[in-house]
Amino acid sequence: MKKTAIPLLLAAAVVLPGCVSQKTYNRDMGAERQINQELMTEVQADTVKIIQLQDRLRVTLVDELLFSEGGWELHSNGKAVLDKIVPALQSATTQRIEVEGYTDNVPIGAHLQHRFPTNWELSAARAAEVVRYLQKKGIDPSRLTAAGHGEYQPVGSNATPAGRQANRRTDIDLMPINP
């Protein structure tokens, strides 16, 4: 084997595992288009944001869309919103689904402190509730992950009502199973 062939083989071995077929790429992009289409009303109402990041598609839902204030159980409107994207999530079989909960920095009220000592536990419970619901709707649980971040990854200032509202959110990230 020529000396120049070895570097080419090594380069191919590094690059090719990250490649996906056109069919897989089209299917995954179809999920993004489907999510955008299904959540158009919520996007226009500014209660959902859909962002394509370098390695993932992120769907951000404001907390009141899914949960009552201080609550951790999905309300009927939240279930209806999730139901809109379940088919797209089911079809994106090469994607892992990470559900991440966030809160503002307002301490947990006295009536909930026995269940959630801090916002960290509340954010994790919300993420887990969304994951349980998606599993119940037929999403393969081996593709699901729940994580709570509490108040520790704010996107807005906790010094203002608008900033606190922006910080109370749930992200649903779709990312390749084998990056």
25-34 burial by CB neighbour count: b if 16+ within 10 A, else e?
A: eebbeebbeb
Pairing state between β 48-52 and 95-102: unpaired
What average pLDDT score do residues 150-165 get?
Answer: 97
Whether 120 contacts 148, CB under 8 Å? yes
Region 78-100 average pLDDT:
95
pLDDT of residue 36: 82
Query: What is the per-residue pLDDT across 120-134, written as a single tens digit (0 to 9) for each?
Result: 999 999 999 999 999
Higher per-residue confidence, 85 vs 42: 85
- pLDDT at residue 11 above 60? no
Q: Which residue stretches of 39-148 are H helix?
A: 40-44, 63-66, 76-91, 119-136
Q: What CA–CA distance (Å, rounded) separates 143 from 149? A: 20
Exposure on the CB side of residue 66, measured as CA atoms within 13 A: 28
DSSP state of 108: P
pLDDT of 93 > 70? The answer is: yes
pTM score of the predicted model: 0.81
| 63-77 tens-digit pLDDT | 999 998 889 999 999
pLDDT range class, residue 6, cuts 50, 70, 90: very low
Instruction: Given CATH 3.40.50.1820, say whether it is the number of domain 22-176.
Output: no
Interhelix angle 76-91/22-38, rounded to 10 degrees, is 160
Q: Give 97's strand partners.
A: 144, 174
State yes or no: pLDDT of 10 exceeds 90: no
Q: How buried is residue 3: exposed, middle or buried, by Cβ count under 10 Å (0-12/13-18/19+)?
A: exposed
What order of strands is seen across the sheet that includes strand 95-102? 48-52, 57-62, 169-176, 95-102, 144-148
Map out the domains of the chain as residue ranges: 22-176
| Mean pLDDT over the full length of the chain | 85
